[in-house]
Amino acid sequence: MKKNEAIIKLTDQHVFQNYGRYPIVLVKGKGMHVWDKAGNKYLDFLAGVAVNNLGHCHPKVVTAIRKQAGQLMHVSNWFHIEPQSLLAQKLTQRSFAGKIFFCNSGTEANEGAIKLARRYFYDRGEKARYEIITMQQAFHGRTLGSMAATPQDKIQKGFGPLLPGFKYVPFDDMAAVKQAITSKTCAVMVEPIQGETGVNIPHKRYLKELRALCTRKKILLILDEVQTGFGRTGTLFAYENFGIKPDIMTLAKGLGCGFPIGALAATDKVARSFGPGTHGSTFGGNPLACSAALAAFQVLSQKSFLRQVQKTGQYFLSQLQELSQKCPAVGKVRGMGLILAMDLVEASAPEVARECLQLGFLVNATGPGTLRFIPPLIVTRKDIDKLIRTLERIFKKL
């Protein structure tokens, strides 16, 4: 571990201390594995927080980046950008969206969604319709708008005054949303599955009813698919599992499969409200990011790939269920595709995650009592079996 320690010391001396980091330095990745500076190998069930959907250094993505880097990395959006247009074409062909706006991260996509919803009603003469309803335990990002949309004390504390215009209701509670809508409401913003706060999956009909309510009230439905997009739930976008279509959708993480890129997708009618000069991003949609995302999309969007994610996800869930029968330390388990979680009974999830790390597995605790599993979508049954055996060993020791 000595080789790791030198870099850890540098981080502590020179880098903002805003992350609680695990005490290893990752230097190499291939497929499902990463290696630290001392040469230790880890099986990755975190995927850079649901980013590396094709695993580490997928050859098609690496080749596309190398090729584009030697040709053209950045130009202004004052010009047409070929990989951007091609990527937007793919995304609109495979989703509800009519148009795409590109940016660099999940929070930036959500800032765009908040602005677009407000501007849509402004353009219709409804200037007092600016309020957005979001859900308790949501996570939409750290910038001022997204943070205001994220009603968690640990995210908002000390950063006030918050951007006004948000109302919070419990997740998966239709009656609460109905009650919260007023003549000021312009949109409801929701994650199809809440990822950061423990993989909270709503009841089957929730999103369908929410969609119907928004349509009836003539307000917009914004889906934050930053974590659930790009095959994570076994379909290209999570909304497909719930039989609905949003008006606006935000994307990032798995879009670039490791290369930073975000996007805002909207119907043609809504997208029209971002006319020339209304919104922008210097780096958003640059040739390099879009080439990486295009290469990733070509693999991710294949029907056979998505079918495999569904099958592997079902297997993973069945193994977690078996483990919960065997180990009293395991409580409720849940998942859809390859976003899964396990509640622990009288055991500390961060401690179990640290034990996993010692034994060569990257696993994440979303809170004191919940473990989350968001591996690359290329994970195999063999990889899952290895993790399950390790968890069983840890729980037996507890």
Instruction: Count Cα neighbours of 234 within 13 Å in the Cβ-side half-sphere.
Output: 20
**Which residue number, 135 or 384, has a Cβ lying nearer to ligand PLP?**
135
Which candidate, 5, 378, 320, 364, places its Cα nearest to that of 198?
Answer: 364
Pick the binder of ligand PLP from 196, 343, 355, 383 (CB under 6 A).
196
Enumerate residues 249-278 that contact ligand PLP by CB under 6 A.
252
**Which residue number, 234 or 254, has a Cβ lying nearer to ligand PLP?**
254
| Shortest separation between residue 268's beta carbon and ligand PLP, angstroms | 24
**Which residue number, 195 or 376, has a Cβ lying nearer to ligand PLP?**
195
Q: Residues 6 or more apart from 296 whose CB is under 8 A from it? A: 53, 54, 58, 60, 61, 230, 254, 255, 256, 257
Binding range to ligand PLP, per CB under 6 A, among 101-109, 167-175, 286-294, 315-323: 101-109
**Binders of ligand PLP: how many residues, by CB under 6 A?**
15
Cβ-closest residue to ligand PLP? 106
**Residue 154 annotated to the active site:** no
134 touches 141 (CB < 8 A): no
Pick the binder of ligand PLP from 36, 191, 247, 343 (CB under 6 A).
191
Enumerate residues 128-147 that contact ligand PLP by CB under 6 A.
139-141
Q: Please identify which of the residues 36, 44, 224, 247 carries the catalytic annotation.
A: 224
The CA distance from 59 to 4, in Å, is: 27
Binding range to ligand PLP, per CB under 6 A, among 53-61, 100-108, 119-127, 155-163: 100-108
Q: Please identify which of the residues 139, 166, 297, 373 carries the catalytic annotation.
A: 139
The label of the residue with tokens 């308790």 reads 136
Query: Is residue 107 part of the contact set for ligand PLP (CB under 6 A)?
Result: yes
The CA distance from 30 to 61, in Å, is: 12
Q: Coil, strand, or helix at residue 80?
A: coil
**Residue 269 annotated to the active site:** no
Read off φ and ψ for residue 56, nearest 5 degrees. -90, 135
Which residues, listed in sequence order, are joined to residue 361 by a DSSP beta bridge? 43
Torsion of CA 127, 129, 131, 134, to 10 degrees: -140
Query: Is residue 105 part of the contact set for ligand PLP (CB under 6 A)?
Result: yes
**Residue 139 annotated to the active site:** yes
**Which residue number, 19 or 78, has a Cβ lying nearer to ligand PLP?**
19
Q: Where are the beta strands (DSSP E) in the chain?
A: 26-30, 33-36, 41-44, 99-103, 131-135, 166-169, 185-190, 220-224, 248-251, 262-266, 330-336, 339-344, 361-362, 364-367, 370-373
Q: Please identify which of the residues 253, 274, 361, 383 carries the catalytic annotation.
A: 253
Name the residues annotated as catalytic. Answer: 139, 224, 253
What is the contact surface with ligand PLP in residues (CB under 6 A)? 49, 105-107, 110, 139-141, 191, 195-196, 224, 226-227, 252
